[in-house]
Structure 1
Amino acid sequence: MDLLGLIGNFIRVVENGSIAAAARAKGMSPAAVSQSLSRLEAHLGVRLLSRTTRSMTLTESGKRYFEKVRHIPQDIDLASQAAAIETRPQGPLCIATTAAFGRYVIAPLMPAFKASFPDIDIELISTDRNVDHRLEGVDVSIRIEAQLNDQLIAKKIASLPFIVCASPTYLERAGTPRTPEELSQHACLVFRYPTDGRFLPWAFIVDGQSVNAKLNPEFISDDIDIIAKIAENGGGIARLASFIAQPLIETGRLTPLFSSDHGDENTIASSPMNIYACVNERSALNAKVRAFIAFLEDAM
């Protein structure tokens, strides 16, 4: 009897709230998970869960048993990590990242990372929705500051510039703003978070002080590539991460604004994009996750 496997299925059912949700998380059928619970209860000689077609609750015996065994999978993982601390990072690594950062930054780095760590098998989830580390099997997620929450352990790994920019045709038509305050008189292309509907604010550092610009949203999108494309075609002013804006600036399709190279005494800079590597708990910082984070820090 695979007692550890039965215990693991029981823990996953309790944590997910239902047999069906646990089955999805484990990649098993609901019938198989239900059968494993019955086998565990038969082995223990007690009823752990009171189950109906509509609800599931822990019995008193189930509550006591869950409190005793809930840490077993984590303890086993920690023991495995301790035993393998000197071994080469290996095994599956699931990385979640925002769509744009995954497309422009993470994906181009993956061949070099794989060459450095050939025994790591990579899965890359590129999405702007919220991902659940535990339910979706995510080892590490790469997030910007606005996406952090108290359930994750976050480490800042990079700080990248935002660049406020517009096409030459737009600037010829509408003029060039010289301060963030003038943005309210221009067509602004605004990114909306797909997860909660908030606008991404345009924050600036003006003479050492943080300022949020008042905007005139001409276009709104939850896809930063769409915003970049509208800006490139003269639709207005965009605030883009440097990894998106810089290639368009180098080819002359976009022009950066608020540059300090025109001799003004005042200094204006867009607040940077802070990038964080996040894990669900400290025990998730295993060898392959640490290898990926260190590689990303060095590359950036």
Structure 2
Amino acid sequence: MMTHMTIAPSQAHPAPGGPPSTESLSGMVAFVRAAESGSFVAAGRALGLSASAVGKSVMRLEAKLGVQLLNRTTRRIGLTHEGARFFARCKRMLADLEEAENELFQSTSSPRGRLRIAAPSLGSRLLLPLVPEFRRRYPDIELDIEFSDRMVDITQEGYDAVIRTGRLADSQLLARPLAQYGPVVIGSPTYFAGHGEPATPADLEGHSCIRFRSPASGRPEPWRFSRDDHTFAIDPHATLTFNDMEAVLAACISGLGLACVPDFIAKSALEGGMLRAVLGAHTGTEGVFQILWPPSRHEAPRLRAFIDHVASRLGGLPSHEVRFRAA
């Protein structure tokens, strides 16, 4: 004999507006599995629950909706007319949810997606040589790098990380040192053949000097030297001044004078013999490039891949990471 369970209208609770609750989603899963298998026992086995728990979950869903979804018999359960319509919608919704979960899992378990990085203008000399290998290793990561000397707001502007030098403001960002750099005084072989080489910083008075004008201060940057464990700066007379470091380098390679630039700027020209460094005994390390990023409980694999790649390729510094606070 078939027995049916009907929920009286007085017991029904009107469905609230807005998204379904967690309990409603659990009830939908139980309902779909029970309808598919035709049994609370089989549905419970699939969900890791007791048959009683599945049945109660479906009953709570029916009570909330104010409609009977399943016909119960002693041997089997079946869909009501309303239940069949609801079953089709629930099955599509749960399939979409499962697909979304799979997509999210894929995006967070392997490096992929867009990665926005901000770096100082001079950072192109450091980063660009590292990009080809990074793209080969992580073809699913879309790199978006801004080279600019403006101070970006990493959180408000949506950057994943920033690369900075010098003294950093108080911050809750995480930081990892990437590479040290220092000044190097350079000149072309042609220039030295006609003017000789300075032996000390004081000898710069007799040389043509190409200066870099800081975009921050609007003034030519001083040339920094070390002596007896302390540093000092001089302002040699400028025969040429540029507000672009690449222009300074090009003028120096052309034999127009001496220049003082960060060592990584002149690296390839020095290695290629287009420039020679002088006054090496009077120069030392000046600063550190650091990469900073917001702390997160679930750090994106694409960001971790970029940090580790850049740090390992630049090398030379401890690989510790700290929550940065300025002294």
Q: What TM-score bracket applies, with the shorter chain setting the length?
A: 0.5 to 0.7
* Aligned match of 2:130: 109
1:82-141 alpha-carbon deviations (Å, 9 max, x no partner) = x99982233211011222322x32122112112323332211112233333234322111
Residues 217, 2 of structure 1: alpha-carbon distance in 2 compared, 3 angstrom cutoff: farther
Work out whether 1:98 is the aligned partner of 2:120.
yes
What are the ranges of 5 or more consecutive residues in structure 2 without an aligned counterpart?
1-16, 20-104, 315-327
Question: Which amino acid is the alignment partner of residue 94 of structure 1?
Answer: R
Change (3 A) 1:289 1:195: farther
1:87 equivalent in alignment to 2:109: yes
Write the mapping of 1:204-219 to structure 2, written as runs, cut at 5 A.
Answer: 204-219=225-240
Q: Provide TM-score, normalisation by structure 1.
A: 0.61
The amino acid that maps onto 1:252 is G
Distance across 1 between alignment mates of 2:115 and 2:244? 26
Structure 2: distance between partners of 1:200 and 1:156? 24
Distance in 1 (CA, whole Å) between partners of 2:220 and 2:160 is: 28
The secondary structure found in structure 2 opposite 1:169 is: helix
Distance across 1 between alignment mates of 2:188 and 2:306? 37
Shift of 1:160: 3.0
Residue among 196, 210, 216 paired with 1:195? 216
| Matched residue SS, 2:194 | helix
Q: CA deviation at 1:277?
A: 0.8
Query: What corresponds to 1:288 in structure 2?
Result: 302
Contact 1:185 1:216 in 2 (8 A): no
Instruction: Report the Cα distance in structure 1 between the residues aligned to 2:152 and 2:187, rounded to whole angstroms.
Output: 33
In 2, distance between residues paired with 1:152 and 1:215?
40
Give the conservation status (yes or no) of the 8 Å contact 1:183–1:214: no
Superposition deviation, residue 248 in structure 1: 1.9
SS at match of 2:155: helix
- Structure 2 match to 1:37: none
Aligned-residue offset at 1:187:
2.5
Provide closer, same or farther for how the CA distance between residues 196 and 89 of structure 1 changes in structure 2, counting only shifts above 3 A.
farther
Report the equivalent of 2:292: 278
1:149 counterpart residue number:
169
Q: Specify the code of the residue in structure 2 equivalent to 1:99.
A: S
Residues 108 and 300 in structure 2, CA contact (< 8 A), matched pair in contact too = no
Rounded to whole Å, the distance in 2 between the matches of 1:201 and 1:270 is: 15
Superposition deviation, residue 215 in structure 1: 2.1
* Distance in 1 separating the partners of 2:126 and 2:158: 22
Matches within 5 A, 1:150-165: 150-151=170-171, 153=173, 154-165=175-186
Letter in 2 for 1:295: H
Cα drift, residue 152 of structure 1: 6.9
Amino acid across the alignment from 1:145: G
CA contact (8 A) 1:205 1:271 kept: no
1:235 maps to which residue?
256
Note the C-alpha offset of 1:145: 1.4
- How many Å apart are 1:186 and its aligned residue? 2.7
The counterpart of 2:192, out of the listed 128, 148, 171, is 171
Q: CA deviation digits over 1:207-230, x for unaligned, max 9?
A: 322222332222222211100111
- Aligned-partner Cα distance in 2 for 1:295–1:273: 21
Structure 1's consecutive aligned runs of 4 or more residues displaced over 6 angstroms after TM superposition are: 83-86
Assess if the C-alpha contact under 8 Å between 2:208 and 2:238 holds in 1: yes
The 5-angstrom pairing of residues 22-33 of structure 1 reads none
Cα distance in structure 2, aligned partners of 1:175 and 1:2: 80
| C-alpha separation in 2, matches of 1:204 and 1:84 | 51
Structure 2 letter corresponding to 1:193: S
3-state SS in 1 of match to 2:210:
strand
User: Which is higher, the Rg of structure 1 or of structure 2?
Assistant: 2
Unaligned runs of 5+ in 1: 4-82, 260-266
CA contact (8 A) 2:209 2:237 kept: yes
Partner of 1:183: 204
Partner of 1:299: 313
Write out aligned runs for 1:51-70 (5 A).
Answer: none
Aligned residues of 1:241 and 1:273 also touching (Cα < 8 A): no
Partner of 1:225: 246
Partner amino acid, structure 2, of 1:133: I
Alignment equivalent of 2:149, drawn from 119, 122, 128: 128
| Kept in 2: contact 1:181–1:214 (CA 8 A) | no
